[in-house]
Amino acid sequence: MAPAFAWIGGMIVAVLAAIVMTIAIRRVLPMLEAALGLSMFAMGFALHASGFFAGQGPWPVFFIVAVSHTIAGWAIWQRQRRLGQP
């Protein structure tokens, strides 16, 4: 039960970090796709370099980065669409 809560909590933190990183990078790079790509690279590199998932292969890092940035990109896109921003 505890590992499931750890994964859920970790995903929530990862989504929030992805949103914050993408918005921060977007202040420099105006395109959402470029900001998401650079944010994905930075988060994946940081998770891999930290060694947090050492010995488990690349898939946990890939899963966390892909899912969190998918949710973050969707949330940012929905916010833009509702506010009528380009």
26-64 confidence digits (pLDDT tens): 999 988 899 999 999 999 898 888 887 777 888 888 888
Q: Please tell me the total count of domains within the chain.
A: 1
In a domain, 9, yes or no: no
In a domain, 11, yes or no: no
pLDDT at position 86:
61
**Domain assignment present for 17:** no
Distance CA 80, CA 22 (A): 14
42 close to 72: Cβ distance less than 8 angstroms: no
- Its domain, for residue 50, covers 27-86
Which ranges constitute the DSSP H helices of 27-58?
A: 32-50
Residue 1 has pLDDT above 70, yes or no: no
Tell me what pLDDT residue 58 has: 84
Cα 24 to Cα 10: distance, rounded to the nearest angstrom: 21
Is residue 31 in a domain?
Answer: yes
| This prediction's pTM | 0.81
Within a domain: residue 62? Answer: yes
Neighbours of 71 (CB within 10 A): 17
- The count of C-alpha atoms lying within 13 angstroms of the C-alpha of 62, restricted to the half-sphere facing its C-beta, is 4
Instruction: Evaluate whether residue 19 is within a structural domain.
Output: no
